[in-house]
Amino acid sequence: MQRETNILNLESVDSTNTYAADHFDSLGDGVLVVAETQTSGHGRLGRKWHSPRGNIYASFVMKELFGEPFHATMVSSLAVLSVLNDLVPGHGAYIKWPNDIFIGDRKLSGVLCEGVLRAGTLAGIICGIGVNVNLPEEELNRIGQPATSLLAQTKCKINLKIFAEKLAVYLNWYYIIGINDRERLFSLWKRENRIIGRHVMLQPPNGAVYEALVRDISEDGKLQIEEANGTLHEFACGDVKLLPGQTGA
């Protein structure tokens, strides 16, 4: 199957996810909506996503449903990593469950996938992707968690148009892999996830805190952890931090 890479460039929007959801019916399958800045960018767990100019704010429209919604998020994080492989040699980035991209212990990119309902049924998924590209050090300090940008890492500015074009190509690439061979998509994603066998602190949305060893990630993306007393748990979402002395690289 061939797909034409299709990008819709916007200057400023509230959120590319909101825009893509509002225009879902008129946007084609596999279109990437890109904005220079967002006035109301949002992230996982109801957090704000700081969205000044100089970064990538993009939302990928997926109308063909395959597997669990979690598979859609895998498409996004794999696509970001592939762009980094092309543009930033030796970047050292990795996927931190569920779908953040980290360099060392700092966040470079996040993914927020949201379902679109029609007549009460899931009609598609919007995958929102934020990547800190040309954000200078002083702006990074305004983010409420340890963050980095490609500029901070390499001291070089990256052409955002080229980044977005590559992102659209890789998103469609992994989307097609997912539609045709979900298991392959999962194994590509799992290979980039460096927390299996590490000790982490996990905070699921229910407010509990676990310090545990990551045993595995299940086929539907759930994190399987084991506490020191041997108790096993499985979580579909939450915040993971590697415990001191555990690096992701």
Closer residue to ligand BTN (CB): 14 or 68: 14
Contact partners, residue 28, CB within 8 Å, separation at least 6 = 6, 61
Rounded distance, CA 160 to CA 20, Å? Answer: 20
Q: Is 182 helix (H, G, I), strand (E, B) or coil?
A: helix
Residue 155 — φ and ψ, nearest 5°?
65, 15
Closer residue to ligand BTN (CB): 110 or 178: 110
Closer residue to ligand BTN (CB): 49 or 170: 49
Residue 229 CB, shortest distance to ligand BTN, in Å, is: 31
Cis peptide before 98 (omega within 30 of 0): yes
Residue 163 CB, shortest distance to ligand BTN, in Å, is: 13
List contacts with ligand BTN (CB under 6 A): 15-17, 38, 41-44, 47, 49, 57-59, 100, 110-112, 128-130
Residue 117 CB, shortest distance to ligand BTN, in Å, is: 18
- Torsion-angle region of residue 238: left (phi > 0), alpha (psi -120 to 50) or beta? left
Identify the bridge partners of residue 116 per DSSP, sorted by sequence position: 124
Contact criterion met (CB below 8 Å) for 144 and 80: no
| Closest-approach residue to ligand BTN (CB) | 110
Nearest to 44 by CA among 122, 110, 105, 107: 110
Residue 228 CB, shortest distance to ligand BTN, in Å, is: 29
Whose structure tokens read 């859609």? 72
Closer residue to ligand BTN (CB): 43 or 67: 43
What interhelical angle do 160-180 and 182-191 show, nearest 10?
A: 130
Closer residue to ligand BTN (CB): 121 or 145: 145
Residue 38 CB, shortest distance to ligand BTN, in Å, is: 6
Residue 238 CB, shortest distance to ligand BTN, in Å, is: 12
Closer residue to ligand BTN (CB): 201 or 213: 201
